[in-house]
Structure 1
Amino acid sequence: MHSDDVLAFLDSHPDFLTHHAERFGLRAAPQERVVVSFAERQLLDMKDRIRQLESRLHQLVRHGEANDLIQARSHRLALGLMQARSTESVLAAVSKGLLDIFQIDRVALRLWHPQAETRTPSCTTTRADIQLLARNLSAPSCGPYANDEVLSWFPPVPVLQSFAQIALREESGEPFGLLVLASDNADRFTFDMHTHYLAQMGEMVSAALLRTLGAE
C-alpha cells in the first residue's frame, strides 16, 4: 500500500485515528474531534501548570508584602511603647499606634490591675463579666460580636461591624486588662483571620503597662 492509498483511506475514514489513538501514540483532546500528539498534550498541560504556579507565586508575593507592612507598623508601635515613661503615656502610645499607624477605626482598653484605679480611672473596670471574658480568651477573639458592656465603650455612630478582643496578661498568665479593636468594616476582623500579630500586639501592650504600673 502506497502513502497516497493511506492518505485516501484516512480521508474516507476521518474517525480512524481517534478510535486508534492509543495504538499510534496519539491522544484525543477532550470535547474535540481533533487528535493531538501526546507531546503536544504534555506541553498544554505544562503551560496550564505554569499558569497555576504563577498565580500562586503572585499570591505569595502579596502575602509577603502584607506581612512586611504589618511588621513595619508593629515596629513603630513597639518603639512608641518603649519610649513611654508613664501609664498615661503608654495608653496614649497605644491609641496613637492603633488609630494612626494601623488605621484601626476604634480602640478601647479597660484595666483591673491594682494600681490602675488611681492612675487611669477612666480606663478602669471592676465588672466581673469583663474579667471572665478576658480569662476565657486563650487567643485573640475576632468576629462580628461583642457583649453589651464592650459595645458601651464605643460611640453609637458609626455602627461597628467587627471586633478583635485581646486579653492583657501578667507574666503568670492572669489577665489584668482587655484591649478591644473595632471597625465599621465587617471584613476587618473575621472568625477565620490569623491572630498571630494580634497576640504579639497584646503581649507588647501588656509588657509596657506592667512596666509603668509597677514603677509608678
Structure 2
Amino acid sequence: MTDPFIPPITEDDIANYLANTPDFFDRHAGVLAAVQLSSPHGQRAVSLQERQAELLRDKIKGLELKAAEMIRHGQDNSTIADRLQRWTRELLRTREARDLPEVAAREIATQFLVPQVAIKVWDVAPAFMTLACAQGASEDVKAFSSSLSRPYCGANPGLEAAGWLDDPKAVASLALIPLRTAEGQAAFGLLVLGSPDAQRFAADMGTDFLERMGELTSAALSRLRP
C-alpha cells in the first residue's frame, strides 16, 4: 500500500539519480544493453548505442555546416581584402590630386560592384573649386554629413545626395559615408553609394567596412583641402 505522505518518484528523480550514480550501469550492465529508445527518424525503437550514434552523426553534421560557413566567410573576407587593396593601390598611383575623386568613385564601382557612386567635397583649396565634385552641395547636405557619426544605410527617400547619382530613380538603397579629416571633425565631403537592390545597403547592416572605406577616401581626398 502506498504511503500518502511519501511523494511519488518522478522522472526527474530517476534522471538525477542516474546522473549522480555513474556506476549504476556497471552494476546493472544488462539494463543498459536492454534500453530501447524511440528513433527521431521513425516510430521504431533503437538501442541506446544506436541512438547515441545518431546523436553523434547529427552533431558532426552540425559541425560540418558551421565549418563550411566559416570557410565561406573566410573566402568572402579574403575577396573583400583583395578588392580593397586594388582600390587603395589605384588611389596611391594617382599623381594629380584633382583626379582623385573620379578615380576613387570609379574604382569603388569597379572593385566592389556598386552600380552607382558619387562624391562631393567642399571647403577645398582654391585650385580645386572648379571641379565638378566641388559643386552643388547645399548647406543642408553639409550639416547632415557632419551630423553622421557613422554611415547612413537604408532606403532612398529622395535625399538630396541621392540626386548626385546618375540615375537616382533606379536606386532602392543608399549608403551615405561622411568624409572627414579626423573623428569628431566636421565633414568636408560625402561619399554616396547607390544600388537597385533594397537589401544591398539595408538599415540593419554592419557599417565597419563602409567606415574603413570612408577613412581611406577621406585620407586620399584630403589632398584637395587647403
Give the TM-score taking structure 2 as reference length: 0.76
Unaligned stretches of 5+ in structure 2?
Answer: 1-30
Report the alpha carbon displacement of residue 127 of structure 1 after superposing the two structures with TM: 1.6
CA deviation string 1:152-181 (max 9, x = no partner): 212347611111110001125321111000
Report the alpha carbon displacement of residue 148 of structure 1 after superposing the two structures with TM: 3.2
Does the CA-based 8 Å contact 1:111-1:177 persist in structure 2? yes
Q: Corresponding residue for 2:215?
A: 203
Q: Distance in 1 between matches of 2:202 and 2:91?
A: 27
Q: Pick the aligned partner of 1:100 from 100, 105, 110.
A: 110
How do 1:35-184 residues align onto structure 2 when only pairs under 5 Å count? 35-115=45-125, 118-124=128-134, 125-156=136-167, 159-171=170-182, 173-174=184-185, 175-184=187-196
Does the CA-based 8 Å contact 1:26-1:36 persist in structure 2? yes
Partner secondary structure for residue 103 of structure 1: coil
Q: Distance in 2 between matches of 1:164 and 1:67?
A: 20
Partner secondary structure for residue 194 of structure 1: coil
Q: Corresponding residue for 2:28?
A: none
Unaligned stretches of 5+ in structure 1?
Answer: 1-20
Q: Distance in 1 between matches of 2:126 and 2:98?
A: 10
Please say which of residues 190-199 and 61-70 is displaced more in the overlay. 190-199
What is the alpha-carbon root mean square deviation over aligned residues? 2.4
* C-alpha distance 27-126 of structure 1, shift in aligned 2 (>3 A): closer
CA deviation string 1:87-123 (max 9, x = no partner): 3221122122112222211111111224278435422
Does the CA-based 8 Å contact 2:128-2:224 persist in structure 1? no
Report the alpha carbon displacement of residue 24 of structure 1 after superposing the two structures with TM: 3.7
CA deviation string 1:126-170 (max 9, x = no partner): 522212221222111211125431222123476111111100011
Partner secondary structure for residue 164 of structure 2: coil
Q: Distance in 1 between matches of 2:191 and 2:85?
A: 19
Q: Distance in 1 between matches of 2:36 and 2:183?
A: 70
Q: Distance in 1 between matches of 2:94 and 2:125?
A: 17
Report the alpha carbon displacement of residue 187 of structure 1 after superposing the two structures with TM: 2.3
Count, aligned residues: 194
* C-alpha distance 157-130 of structure 1, shift in aligned 2 (>3 A): closer
Please say which of residues 21-30 and 49-58 is displaced more in the overlay. 21-30
Give the TM-score taking structure 1 as reference length: 0.79
Does the CA-based 8 Å contact 1:166-1:178 persist in structure 2? yes
Q: Distance in 2 between matches of 1:71 and 1:146?
A: 31
Partner secondary structure for residue 171 of structure 1: coil
2:181 maps to a residue whose letter is E
